[in-house]
Amino acid sequence: MSHHALVIGAGLAGTASASALVHKGWRVSLLESGDTPACAASALPVGILSPLLTRAPTTLSRLSELGAAAMHKELARLLPEGQGWQSCQIQNLGHAPGQWPAAMVQPSVVIDAWLKEARATGSLETRLNTPVDRLSQSEQASGPGWEALDANGQVLCSADAVVLAGAWRSVQLLKRSGFLPDNLDLFPLRPVKGQMSFASLYGTPLAANPMRNNGVFVPDFSHLPRDGQPAERIWAMGSTYERGADDASVTWEGHLRNLTSLRALSTQAAATMAHAMEPPATLRGWAGVRCASLDRVPLIGQMPDLVRWAAAPRSNRGWPRKLQPERVPRLPGFYVLTALGSRGLTLAHWAGKELAALISGSTMGFEADLQLAVDPARFGWRQLRQQIRPV
Ligand SMILES: Cc1cc2nc3c(=O)[nH]c(=O)nc-3n(C[C@H](O)[C@H](O)[C@H](O)COP(=O)(O)OP(=O)(O)OC[C@H]3O[C@@H](n4cnc5c(N)ncnc54)[C@H](O)[C@@H]3O)c2cc1C
C-alpha cells in the first residue's frame, strides 16, 4: 500500500508539494480552509516568473535560478503556452538594466492543472472548506503518523506524513498544536500585504514587454476567469509591499502607490491608469498577503521539534555558529514548505519536488550550503545558540 501524506494549504506551495508527492507514488489528502484552491496569495491575477538579479549571487538569487529553470520546464509540460502563462522578455529599468527572459503566469491556472493531473491518477483527494485547527501525532497502521483536527477536536484526516504549506497562517496552526514555545520567536514568519491594480485592455498594449523597476507593469496578459468565462485581456501594475499588514482589502491608497511606481516606468501607461481611476472608474484591484521569513529565504524541510529543543539542557561547548542539521531534534514525518515571499511562482514547483524527494527518503539534490539556508531549523539554531548555558 502506498504511503499517505496530508498537505495543508492549496496555494502554490501546497499544490506543488501534493503534485510532486503523487508523482512519487504517494496518496495525498490536500486540506484547504477556503472554498477553492488558490484562494489566498496564489489567487493573484498575473505574476512574473523570473530569476532574481543581484550584483553578486545571494541565497535567494541562487534558489530563484534553480526554481525559474524548473518552473519554465514544468509550465511547458503542463499547459499550452497562452493558457495561463506566456513567455516574455522583461525590461529592467533600474537595477540590472536590460531585457531578461521571464514568463507572465496566472498561478490559479497552474494550480488547477496540477490538481487535475494528480486527481486523474486517483491518488489525490482535495478537501475544501476544511480548516485544520491543529495537528497531533498519532499511531498509523504503518507506524507513527499525524492527525489533522478541526476546532471541535474531530479528526479530519490521518496520514503517515504531513506537509504544512499554510503560508503566514502556519504559525497560528503550530501554536494551537503546541509546537511553538511560548516566549521565543523560533519560527518567524511575517505577513506582507500586496496590492495589484489592473484593468481590461482594449486595443494596442502600452508597452511591448513587461517592465520592472519599483514594481512590475504587465502591458498585456490573457487572464482566464475561474468561472469558465472567456479569457479577458488585461494590463496590470503591481505591487505594493506592506510589511506587517495581513488584510487583503483593496485600497485607494494602494492604487495611488502603484500609480507612482508606474510613473517611473512609463508616463503613457501611468496616464492610462490615472484615466482608469477617474469616474466611472474602470480600474480594478486585487490584494493578497505574502508570507516572508525573517531572512526572506523560504523554509523547505523537516520541522524542528522546537518545544523539546528549547527545553533541552544545552552546553556552550560544541555549539558552532553554523547550523548542524543532524543535531536538531525534529518532528518525525512533519515537513514544511512556506515563506515563498514574492517568489512563489519561481520557487514552488522546484521546492515541492525537492521536498517530496526528502519525504520519500532521498536527499534533496541541491548544494549543501543552500540546504542549510532553507532549513526550517535555522532560526531556532541562531536564537538558542545565543541562550546557551553550561550544563
Ligand atoms: C500582490 C502580490 C503580487 C505577487 N507577485 C508575484 C510575482 O510576480 N511573482 C511571484 O513569483 N510571486 C508573486 N507573489 C507571491 C506569490 O503569490 C506567493 O509567493 C505564493 O502565492 C505563495 O503561495 P503559498 O501556497 O505559500 O501561499 P498561499 O497562496 O497564501 O496559500 C496558503 C493556503 O493555505 C491555506 N491555509 C492556511 N492555513 C490553513 C489551515 N489551518 N487549514 C487549511 N488551510 C489553510 C490558505 O487558505 C491558503 O489557501 C505575489 C504576491 C502578492 C500578494
The three-state secondary structure class of 382 is: helix
**Closest C-alpha to 362, from 121, 69, 20:** 20
Ligand 1 pocket, residue 238 CB under 6 Å: yes
Domain boundaries, the chain: 4-90+107-188+294-385, 191-293
Between the CA of 288 and the centroid of ligand 1 the distance, in Å, is 8
Q: How far is the CA of 17 from the centre of ligand 1 (A)?
A: 14
Asked whether 325 lines ligand 1 (CB < 6 A), one says no
Give the 3-state secondary structure percentages of the chain, helix then strand then coil, rounded to 5: 30, 30, 40
Atom of ligand 1 nearest to the CA of 348: 23
Q: How far apart are CA 310 and CA 208, in angstroms?
A: 54
- Rounded to 5°, the CA angle 45-234-288 comes to 25
Nearest CA to ligand 1 atom 25: 11
CATH number listed for the domain at residues 191-293: 3.30.9.10
Residue tagged 486585487 (cell numbers):
286
- Alpha carbon 206 to its chain centroid, in Å, reads 30
Question: Which atom of ligand 1 is closest in space to residue 347's alpha carbon?
Answer: 11
Closest C-alpha residue for ligand 1 atom 38: 166
Strand partners, 148: 135, 157
Q: What residue spans of the chain are helical by DSSP H?
A: 12-23, 59-78, 107-120, 170-176, 252-263, 267-277, 306-311, 344-359, 368-374, 378-386
173 neighbors 136 (Cβ within 8 angstroms)? no
**How far lies 324's CA from each of 152, 163, 208, 378, 389, in Å?**
39, 22, 49, 9, 18
Residue 165 Cβ inside 6 Å of ligand 1? The answer reads yes
Dihedrals phi, psi of 48, to nearest 5 degrees: -110, 130
Q: Whose CA is nearest to atom 37 of ligand 1?
A: 166
Tell the residue number behind the cell numbers 491608497, with chain if given: 253
Q: Tell me if the pTM is above 0.95.
A: yes
Q: How far, in Å, CA of 335 to CA of 301, rounded?
A: 6
Q: What is the DSSP letter of 51?
A: P
| DSSP annotation of 109 | H
Beta-carbon count within 10 A of 104 CB: 26
Which residue among 342, 346, 374 is best mutated to probe the pocket of ligand 1, counting the most ligand atoms within 8 A of its Cβ? 342
Buried b (16+ CB within 10 A) or exposed e, 26-37: bbbbbbbbbeeb
Reading the block at residue 209, the C-alpha cell is 514587454
What string of pLDDT tens digits covers the 391 residues of the chain? 679 999 999 999 999 999 999 999 999 999 999 999 999 999 999 999 998 888 889 999 999 999 999 999 999 999 999 999 999 999 998 778 899 999 999 999 999 999 999 999 999 999 999 999 999 999 777 778 999 999 999 999 999 999 999 999 999 999 999 999 988 889 999 999 999 999 999 999 999 999 999 899 999 999 999 888 999 999 999 999 999 999 999 999 999 999 999 999 999 999 999 999 999 889 999 999 999 999 999 999 999 999 999 988 887 777 888 999 999 999 999 999 999 999 999 999 999 999 999 999 999 999 999 999 999 999 999 988 887 777 6
Rounded to whole angstroms, the Cα distance separating 286 from 280 reads 18
pLDDT in tens, 197-228: 999 999 999 999 999 998 999 999 999 998 88
Q: Is the CB of 285 under 6 A from ligand 1?
A: no
Single-letter amino acid code for the residue at 207: A
How many A from CA of 13 to the centre of ligand 1? Answer: 8
Cβ(41) – ligand 1 distance below 6 Å? yes
Q: Which CATH architecture does the domain made up of 4-90+107-188+294-385 adopt?
A: 3-Layer(bba) Sandwich (3.50)
Pocket of ligand 1 contains residue 44 by CB under 6 Å:
yes
User: β-strand 211-213 against 215-223: which pairing, if any?
Assistant: antiparallel
